[in-house]
Amino acid sequence: AIWDRISHLLAAGPAGTVTADPLSGQPDFDEGVQHRPLFGRHILVTAGPTHEPIDPVRYIANRSSGKQGFAIAEAAAAAGARVTLVAGPVTLATPPGVDRIDVESAREMADAVAAALPADAAVMVAAVADWRARDYAADKIKKDGGQLAPLPLAENPDILATLAARPDRPRLVVGFAAETSDVVAHAMAKRVRKGADWIVANDVSGDVMGGADNTVHLIRADGVENWPTLSKADVARRLIEHIGEELAND
């Protein structure tokens, strides 16, 4: 029903330069791209981990398969949006109709996000490393057989908070929160602290990473929706549905 309403609202939306429909044949979206709920919108998605180099052979990484972010990019494209997917190092195939920009570190991801603006909505799914090795060693660090010095760290840019604070921020900024305890409470605090409009919170104390399913909570200013366990594709579709509804409230 929401889909139908949105697609009618948007049917008279801005004319794009779409010359072919990369998503033709998808069962959920057999109508032309210009009739789809996110047609004319630009959705920015980040996905995957970041890798923070220590030296030429070592790095600090965050666990993230990238699957949830890629599923969201795919669902946004299927809903008719122009999609920019800024992806950390993962081995996933690019979904059809998605513009992919590959990055490695948090600083590269921050630059790619800024370069992708303007966007109508941003969904920041990437598991960005909070910190990196303070000093990059151009030569491989050798075991010296002596004491092992602690590794000095430096804080990475906060991509979500930085984006949410920009004057040209997307109208809707959605963050993700992977939590191992007090999932909803941590995520509600994160929403406020980061200046995000919504936070999708999930409990990663189990083995959700790399798996096909996800159990999430959608946290907005006016409350929390607890979603049932869904496939990552269904989490993506439901989130994109909500985003389409929100953007239609112009």
The residues that touch a copy of itself, with contacts defined as CB under 8 A, are 51, 54, 56-64, 91, 127, 129-131, 138-141, 143, 148-155, 178-181, 204-205, 209
Q: CB 102 → a copy of itself: shortest distance, Å?
A: 13
Query: How far apart are the C-alpha atoms of 185 and 48, rounded to whole Å?
Result: 24
Cβ neighbours for 63, distance < 8 A, ≥ 6 positions apart: 49, 127, 209, 210
Residue 60 or 77: which CB sits closer to a copy of itself?
A: 60
Q: CB 17 → a copy of itself: shortest distance, Å?
A: 36
Instruction: Check the CA dihedral 163-212-35-23 and report its sign.
Output: positive
Residue 8 or 63: which CB sits closer to a copy of itself?
A: 63
Q: CB 188 → a copy of itself: shortest distance, Å?
A: 15
Residue 22 or 53: which CB sits closer to a copy of itself?
A: 53
Q: CB 131 → a copy of itself: shortest distance, Å?
A: 6
Q: Coil, strand, or helix at residue 24?
A: coil
Full DSSP string of 199-243: EEEEE-SSS-TTSSEE-EEEEETTEEEEPPPEEHHHHHHHHHHHH
Is the distance from CB of 231 to CB of 212 less than 8 angstroms? yes
Residue 101 or 153: which CB sits closer to a copy of itself?
A: 153
Active-site annotation holds for 62: yes
Given the residues 62, 156, 202, 214, the one annotated as active site: 62
Query: How far apart are the C-alpha atoms of 117 and 78, rounded to whole Å?
Result: 21
**Residues identified as active-site:** 62
